[in-house]
Chains A and B, each alone.
Chain A
């Protein structure tokens, strides 16, 4: 029986449901069903796109506030009295319609200037909390080396350029590629991992090249013709190493699996890859924002 209340279509919960299905399919009788897993991967891709679009939108808003605040602060140093109002107007613009954004702007304004723009200001205690949360959830976007540190060919296992707050989301996942029999250990937060899934031009030898990581349907159905030396013991090892480490499937672990998943299925995520390439080194530029808007329109959240 289906619940009377239709489940809240949350991209993140869809991602976790999908990953659980893929995980369960490995122990189903009769072997992994290629068709079903392909369909689940489509849902995963769609949910991931929506999820990331939402995240990028947040990042963009954050970026705008920070830029404006930086300008405001600089202006205030020059002429605190005259230009504070301009700042507040700008923050008003950038804050847009989100009230929490307004509170963030207010939190960043110097205390002495909070009174004239009372409608934007909330107690700094409340403001600081959402600000902290947002920075935790989001990778430190403006740093260009951040993107260069990740690349499709070689995942940096030791030289990830994280902001400290992201470290709480770093997880280790070990993946055995059944086609090439390469073991890869990944320690990354989720978001920038996804960003850089197919950026080719980054990571120009800056990092020690980790082995190429490839997750594909090849590990679902191993064929005699492709893997002549395949033995059951290798499959068992894969089961032990990869999925065991992700139990229980909480959000951060799921995000890692997303990133692993995202590195394969390039046919599925080709459009996403194009989008991400556009973002390389130009994050928060107008061009990226325009494409972001297009993507948000293209995938209508259900």
Chain B
């Protein structure tokens, strides 16, 4: 379901909240680099270039506020990764969080995996709202008492305290990746997860940090012969033996871990033949896949390349079943986009809970949604100008040539510094989180 221009059964997207500084001068460390809802949608995590993780929690829906769903408020903030230096290779390792993935909740605490270029950490986020009072061996200030002074024993009593949310690193999975980690994905067995870098994919057990299994290795014997790298990987949502990985050549390989210990030979190979008439200097760049996501059903998967989003049926390898153009008007601008490095931007994509709609970002703080059933698409903008509470978002349109109509924006006026690379859709409801540089926008459907 997605927004439409008119009435009927269509609903409309409204502004709900925006998080982050209003300041025009954006600190590099505050730029959001990943956004992820947890399995219930109650928690929303963001990671930024400064290595910080901020978790928002949805407040309970109150009966008094019927017109809007619960808002997301800051629940926990912690520094996940710090910059490191690899002395052996004279390389600085960025603290930027590349990916966050939640684990399904199994007890009162919440667990998530966060990854930078080299290291993955398992964080436990737990609440503490009581504290023990009346220790025998230490006094109120925490200082140790002299044991000889103790004449009586007492049982400590649990007293309520202000809610404190603690984040503690429970596992650190390090030293397994020579190249930059681009993906992590929790397996449906909830015991293992995979991590992928440019050339290798490793399978980990959540309890074991000192070793991992290498399940894919595409590094050639001679690096001169390198022609493609792994760009994204994901576990199948239901079949714990199946995973996919995408490449810089625009191909996707589906692998079955039951077939062999090393899954260098794929079970399925998805590739759409290139249209020779559209060949250009930049053909290889724009065909590189930046994200791959299984549908919730597990029947389809979606890939994002620079100009389009494609939906693939896992049973059909030779072409996608659906292709959506995100910003085809950029095809004639590829040279400039190459010069200013925008052509290397890695856009992500996401499904809604029912797999009926998909969403991805673009430039000028625009993001696009495609309804798979009606084949309609819409372009919306995340901006402070449209940030009045419950303000309905107006569809935007890019003028590709000819006379520019009112309310249209011309391609040359687009701000390519305002890019929406990361978006997330609530697993059950029509609530979306859109990361625009250092701001996080939350939109929801209008409730009547």
Binding site for B on A (CB under 8 A): 1-4, 6-7, 9, 11, 14, 17, 21, 29-31, 33-36, 38-39, 42-43, 46-47, 50, 214, 216-218, 221-224, 230, 232, 235, 264-268, 298-300, 302
Contacts and interface: CB of A to CB of B under 8 A. Distances in A.
B284 A43 contact: yes
Interface in B393-448: 411-416
B198 A34 contact: yes
A3 B336 contact: yes
Given A1-B412, A36-B344, A7 B335 contact: yes
6 contacts: A2-B340, A6-B333, A30-B117, A31-B180, A216-B226, A268-B227
Contact of B344 (A29, A39, A222, A264): A39
Contacts of B94: 29-30
Given A6-B335, A39-B284, A268-B227, A30 B92 contact: yes
B332 A224 contact: no
B281 A1 contact: no
Interface in B302-349: 332-341, 344
Contact of B226 (A235, A267, A299): A267
A35 B229 contact: yes
Contact of B90 (A2, A235, A266, A298): A235
Given A30-B94, A31-B93, A217 B223 contact: yes
Contacts of A266: 224-225
Interface SS of A by simple majority: loop
Contacts of A299: 279
A222 B223 contact: no
A34 B338 CA distance: 17
Contacts of A35: 180, 182, 198, 229, 231, 248, 288
B89 A222 contact: yes
A17 B335 CA distance: 10
Contacts of A232: 87, 90
Given A1-B412, A217-B226, A300 B279 contact: yes
Contacts of A46: 280-281, 283-284
Interface of B: 87-94, 96, 117, 178-180, 182, 198-199, 220, 222-229, 231, 248, 279-285, 288, 332-341, 344, 411-416
Q: Which of B89, B198, B224, B288 has the most CB of A within 10 A?
A: B224
Across the A-B interface, give the 8 residue pairs with the lowest CB-CB distance, nearest first. A30-B94, A267-B225, A42-B284, A216-B224, A302-B280, A232-B90, A31-B91, A217-B223
A144 to B, nearest CB: 29
A265 B224 contact: yes
A99 B131 CA distance: 91
A230 B90 CA distance: 10
Contacts of B337: 2
A34 B230 CA distance: 10
Contacts of A31: 89, 91-93, 117, 180
Contacts of A6: 332-333, 335-336
A170 B335 CA distance: 30
Nearest to B89: A222
A246 B314 CA distance: 49
Contacts of B284: 39, 42-43, 46
Q: Which of B90, B117, B281, B282 has the most CB of A within 10 A?
A: B281
Contacts of B223: 216-218
Contacts of A224: 88-89, 178
Contacts of B87: 232
Nearest to A215: B224
A24 to B, nearest CB: 10
A130 to B, nearest CB: 28
Contacts of A235: 90
Given A30-B96, A34-B229, A302-B281, 15 more contacts: A2-B414, A6-B335, A29-B94, A30-B94, A30-B117, A34-B199, A38-B226, A43-B282, A46-B281, A46-B284, A50-B281, A216-B222, A216-B223, A216-B224, A221-B178
Given A38-B229, A39-B248, A264 B280 contact: no
A295 B227 CA distance: 20
A62 to B, nearest CB: 26
Nearest to A234: B90
Contacts of A223: 178
Contacts of B332: 6
Given A39-B288, A42-B284, A34 B336 contact: no
Q: Which of A6, A14, A42 has the most CB of B within 10 A?
A: A42
B412 A43 contact: no
Contacts of A38: 226-229, 248
Contacts of A268: 227
Contacts of B178: 221, 223-224
Nearest to B227: A267
Nearest to B411: A2
A265 B220 CA distance: 12
A261 to B, nearest CB: 11
B94 to A, nearest CB: 4
A214 B224 contact: yes
A4 B280 CA distance: 20
Contacts of B339: 7, 17
A9 B285 contact: no
A11 B335 CA distance: 11
B441 to A, nearest CB: 23
A14 B226 CA distance: 22
B297 to A, nearest CB: 30
Contacts of A1: 412-416
A50 B333 CA distance: 19
Nearest to A217: B223
Contacts of A42: 284-285
Contacts of A33: 180
A298 B281 CA distance: 12
B222 to A, nearest CB: 7
B218 to A, nearest CB: 12
A39 B336 CA distance: 16
Contacts of B96: 30
B278 to A, nearest CB: 9
Contacts of B281: 9, 11, 14, 43, 46-47, 50, 302
Given A38-B248, A267-B225, A302-B334, A2 B412 contact: yes
Q: Which of B288, B335, B344 has the most CB of A within 10 A?
A: B335
A39 B279 CA distance: 15
Contacts of B338: 14, 17, 43
A30 B89 CA distance: 11
Contacts of A7: 335-336, 339
Nearest to A14: B281
